[in-house]
Structures are given as C-alpha cells and as structure tokens.
C-alpha cells in the first residue's frame, strides 16, 4: 500500500506571493534580496516578512515592489535603503522602489518556516502567545504595543521572562 | 485636473489633516506619559496616524501632479488652509482627555475607513484598507482604557466624564461631509459619512454604560474645521511643527 504523504497546506495569501516569485525570470535578484533582513526583526528577510512583493528587471532599471507593514513604521525607510544598497553592491545602480498599499500587508504572508525562525529568535509568532523560551501557554499581555509597531509585549508566568509577540495583523 | 480629481484631492488632504494633527497631539505624550508602556502605545498610535497622513497627502500630490509632495502639503500651509476636524486639534489635556478623544475618533474611524476601503477610487480604497486594520487595533485599546478609567477610581471616573462633556460638542462634525466630499458621495465615489452616526452613537453609548459613564446630554455643537476656521490651538501646533520649513524653506536632511 502506498503510504500517504502529508503535505502542509500553504496559506492562500502566502501561496499567491510564492506564485509571483516562481513565475519570475529574475530569480537571482530575488536570491540577492533574500539577504536583506528586517532591521528591527533581523530573524526575517524582507521576503519572509511579507514586505517584498516583486523584483524585476525593467528596460533600464530594476523595479522593486514593497508593501509597508504599518503606516507609520519608521523602519520602512531603512528597509528601502537596505534594498538599494544590496542591489548597488551587486552592480545594479538604477533602482526604482514602488510602494504598493493594496492588498494591505498581513501577517498571513509570513510563512511557517519564518514563524519557526521568529520563535527561535525569541519572538512569539502571530499564531500563538505561548512563551518562545519555555513553550508555556501561561502568558499574560503587558502592553498592546511593544518595542516596534508590529509587536506587543507579553510575560511568561511559568519562566518569568518577558517577550515580544508578533501581532496578527 | 478634472473637477472630480480636484474633489478627490481636497478630500484626501482633509483626511490627511485629520490624521496628521491628531498624530501630533498623540506624539506630545512622548516623554510625558504615565508609564513606559503607555508611552510606547501612544507613540505607536501617533506613528500610525502620521503614516496615514503621508499616504493621503502622497495620494493628493499624485492626483494634482503639480510638483507638490507630502512635505509641501504638510509644512507649506497655514491654519486657514488646514481642513482637519476640530476634535483632532484640541490640546492633549490630561490622560483621560487623550483617551476619551481617541476612543470617540477610533469608534468613528473603524466604520468610516471600512466604507472608504470600498471606494471606487483605487487610491482612497487602498489607504482605507490599510488604515482600518490599524484603527481596529487602536479602538481595542482605547475602548479598554475607557472601561478602566470610567469604572476605575473616583478620580479617573470624574476625569473621564469631564473629558467626555468637553468633547461631546465636537463630535457632531464627524458626521458632516464638506463640499468636495458631498459631491464625491453624490457621484458614488464614496459613501455618506452621515449614515454612520446612528451606529456610532449606539457603539459609543454601550461603552459609556459599561464604563459607568454618562453619555453627555449637552446639545451644543461646533464646526468649522473643514472650512479652515479653527480653534485658537491649531496655530500653535503648526507653528511648532512647521518651524524648520518656515525658517529654511525647502531644507532637506
């Protein structure tokens, strides 16, 4: 009997982004930008964070499409500068960065691999407020707003550690 | 620019002004908040509003295509051409005043931005779609604070009640479309903000009851923000915010 293989279902929102990337003829550019990390959450690249939507070679310049996380996120500017810098280092000096607002950024775009990376980094991913240190479910919110726009502050009642929680959005 | 494009631009600037002025008022709490957590929260909400203003101004500039940009719109206009609703410009007051104002505005913004997200004008719709998620989160917090202040100590209750009495007459303006907006409503580009009033009164009333606060019974109301007729407070806010660009026009970092 053929054993059934269980396949993780990729959330539709993330699958749509993956499809854009897979259909791209410019994979080397995507790979290049995989090394650009969120300055405030260095465990995630801009792609994993869901900010990077598209990168393509235009007739004269490279076009990068990004979707801002929060309207007032001060890191957006730093992210765009980091993208420019990374591309410049690889010899691409002419870069246009387009901001796309719709569809609005959502944490659904953060893949399950990236969620694991977040937890290992010490940040509870959007799907659970369990303590990223000891795994306990006995946690309490300290503040709805944390050290950055995308996070709230929690404390574990079990191990006593405070931790950031990546807010579902 | 077609007459309708001019209306969309004026509407977008008015919504940007609402967000920028309230964002500035919230930002005044930085280094003055009652606790570190509250300071972070107020600063985060302030940033969301200022970011929202940038999107509305950017959209307005794009429509006008006249060389203006978000900075020239924010820093290059005086009080008479600012068109924010008056409730946003009132001084921050005490913590209760800031929270009650935020609650009243958040409770309006959530349904308002939901309708904006359904606008037939793609730029406005995109901003609405983005901003409504943030306002829903703001409302969760400001509503929670309403309960804690209203149903807290005698002092916090009194302060929250006093703030509500002071603010009530400024809420009527939330439901009054101005010229450009009324034309866009008639053209079915957006929907009528006046239609949101009943649901807002029910929502706000229910929270007041739960917070053991009285819904103010005052019948006075004041308006003028959309016509550029402001309280005496806005000029000081703009003077401080715009100082650098006034002193050194066009200066960049």
Residue B44 sits in a domain whose CATH number is 1.20.1260.10
Query: What residues contact A50, with CB distance under 8 A and at least 6 apart?
Result: A17, A67, A69, A105, A106, A107, A108, A109, A110
Flag whether B188 is in a domain: yes
A101·B130 Cβ contact <8 A: yes
Flag whether B252 is in a domain: no
pLDDT score of A5: 65
Residue ranges and CATH numbers for the domains of chain A are: 12-109 (3.30.300.130), 122-166 (no CATH)
pLDDT score of A113: 87
| Chain B CA closest to residue A99 | B55
Instruction: Give me the phi and psi of A128, to 5 degrees please.
Output: -150, 145
Is the minimum CB–CB distance between A169 and chain B shorter than 8 Å? yes
B-proximal residues of A, 107-136, CB under 8 Å = none
pLDDT score of A6: 56
Query: What residues contact B203, with CB distance under 8 A and at least 6 apart?
Result: B107
Tell me what the mean pLDDT of segment B172-200 comes to.
98
Quote the Cα angle for B181-B183-B185, to 5°.
70
pLDDT score of B126: 95
Question: What pLDDT, in 10s, does the model give residues B8-29?
Answer: 999 999 999 999 999 999 999 9
- Chain A residues within 8 A of B129 when measuring between CB atoms: 101-104
Flag whether B129 is in a domain: yes
Tell me the percentage of chain B whose pLDDT exceeds 70.
100
Is the minimum CB–CB distance between A74 and chain B shorter than 8 Å? yes
Average pLDDT, chain B: 96
Total number of domains constituting chain B: 1
- Chain B residues within 8 A of A155 when measuring between CB atoms: none
Flag whether B224 is in a domain: yes
For the cut 60, the answer to whether the pLDDT of residue B230 exceeds it is: yes
| Chain A CA closest to residue B50 | A72
| Chain B CA closest to residue A145 | B41
Closest to B174 measured CA to CA, from B116, B57, B88, B75: B88
Report CA Rg, chain B: 18
Question: What pLDDT, in 10s, does the model give residues B121-174?
Answer: 999 999 999 999 999 999 999 999 999 999 999 999 999 999 999 999 999 999
Is the minimum CB–CB distance between A57 and chain B shorter than 8 Å? no
Q: Is the ipTM of this complex over 0.90?
A: no
Question: What pLDDT, in 10s, does the model give residues B53-95?
Answer: 999 999 999 999 999 999 999 999 999 999 999 999 999 999 9
Is the minimum CB–CB distance between A142 and chain B shorter than 8 Å? yes
- Block residue for tokens 């993208």: A83
B47·A101 Cβ contact <8 A: no
Question: Does residue A133 contact residue B32 with C-beta atoms inside 8 Å?
Answer: no
pLDDT score of B153: 98
- Chain B residues within 8 A of A140 when measuring between CB atoms: none
Is the minimum CB–CB distance between B206 and chain A shorter than 8 Å? no
Question: What pLDDT, in 10s, does the model give residues B86-95?
Answer: 999 999 999 9
Distance from CA of B227 to the nearest CA of A (A): 27
- Chain B residues within 8 A of A102 when measuring between CB atoms: 122, 125-126, 129-130
Half-sphere exposure of A84 (CA within 13 A, CB side): 12
pLDDT score of A71: 86
Domain that holds residue B147: 3-247
Flag whether B65 is in a domain: yes
Is the minimum CB–CB distance between A144 and chain B shorter than 8 Å? yes
Cβ–Cβ pairs < 8 A, chains A and B: 71
B47·A74 Cβ contact <8 A: yes
Q: Where are the alpha helices (DSSP H) in B151-215?
A: 154-168, 179-186, 197-210
Is the minimum CB–CB distance between B20 and chain A shorter than 8 Å? no
CA dihedral B103, B107, B112, B113 (to 10 degrees): 70
For chain A, residues with pLDDT lower than 50 are none
Is the minimum CB–CB distance between B140 and chain A shorter than 8 Å? yes
> Measured between CB atoms, which of A74, A102, A149 is closest to B126?
A102
> Measured between CB atoms, which of B23, B43, B55 is closest to A101?
B55
Is the minimum CB–CB distance between B49 and chain A shorter than 8 Å? yes
Sign for the CA dihedral angle at B57, A53, B121, B65 comes to: positive
Flag whether B253 is in a domain: no
> Measured between CB atoms, which of A71, A143, A145 is closest to B130?
A71
């Amino acid at each position: 009997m053929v054993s059934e293989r269980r396949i993780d279902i990729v959330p539709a929102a993330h699958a749509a982004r993956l499809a854009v990337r897979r259909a791209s003829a410019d994979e080397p550019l995507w790979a290049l930008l995989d090394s650009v990390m969120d300055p405030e959450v260095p465990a995630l690249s801009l792609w994993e964070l869901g900010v990077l939507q598209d990168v393509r070679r235009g007739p004269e310049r490279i076009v990068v499409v990004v979707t801002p996380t929060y309207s007032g996120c001060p890191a957006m500017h730093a992210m765009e500068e980091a993208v420019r810098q990374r591309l410049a280092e690889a010899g691409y000096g002419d870069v246009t960065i387009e901001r796309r607002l719709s569809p609005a950024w959502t944490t659904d775009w953060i893949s399950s691999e990236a969620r694991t990376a977040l937890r290992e980094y010490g940040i509870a991913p959007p799907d659970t407020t369990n303590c990223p240190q000891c795994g306990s479910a006995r946690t309490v919110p300290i503040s709805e707003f944390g050290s950055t726009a995308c996070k709230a502050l929690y404390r574990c009642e079990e191990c006593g550690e405070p931790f950031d929680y990546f807010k579902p959005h | 620019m077609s007459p309708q494009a001019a209306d969309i631009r004026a509407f977008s600037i008015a919504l940007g002004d609402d967000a920028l002025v309230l964002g500035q008022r919230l930002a005044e709490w930085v280094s003055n908040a009652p606790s570190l957590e509250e300071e972070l929260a107020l600063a985060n909400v302030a940033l969301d509003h200022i970011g929202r203003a940038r999107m509305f101004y950017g959209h307005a500039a794009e429509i006008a295509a006249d060389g203006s940009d978000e900075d020239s719109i924010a820093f290059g206009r005086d009080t008479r051409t600012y068109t924010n609703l008056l409730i946003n410009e009132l001084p921050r007051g005490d913590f209760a005043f800031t929270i009650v104002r935020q609650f009243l505005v958040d409770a309006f913004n959530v349904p308002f931005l939901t309708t904006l997200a359904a606008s037939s004008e793609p730029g406005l719709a995109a901003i609405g779609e983005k901003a409504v998620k943030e306002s829903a989160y703001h409302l969760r917090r400001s509503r929670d604070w309403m309960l804690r202040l209203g149903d807290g100590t005698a002092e916090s209750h009194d302060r929250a009640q006093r703030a509500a009495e002071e603010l009530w007459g400024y809420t009527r303006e939330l439901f009054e479309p101005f010229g450009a907006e009324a034309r866009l409503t008639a053209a079915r580009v957006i929907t009528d903000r006046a239609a949101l009033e009943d649901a807002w009164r029910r929502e706000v009333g229910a929270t007041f009851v739960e917070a053991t606060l009285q819904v103010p019974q005052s019948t006075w109301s004041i308006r003028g923000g959309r016509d550029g007729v402001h309280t005496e407070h806005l000029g000081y806010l703009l003077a401080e915010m715009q100082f650098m660009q006034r002193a050194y026009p066009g200066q960049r970092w």
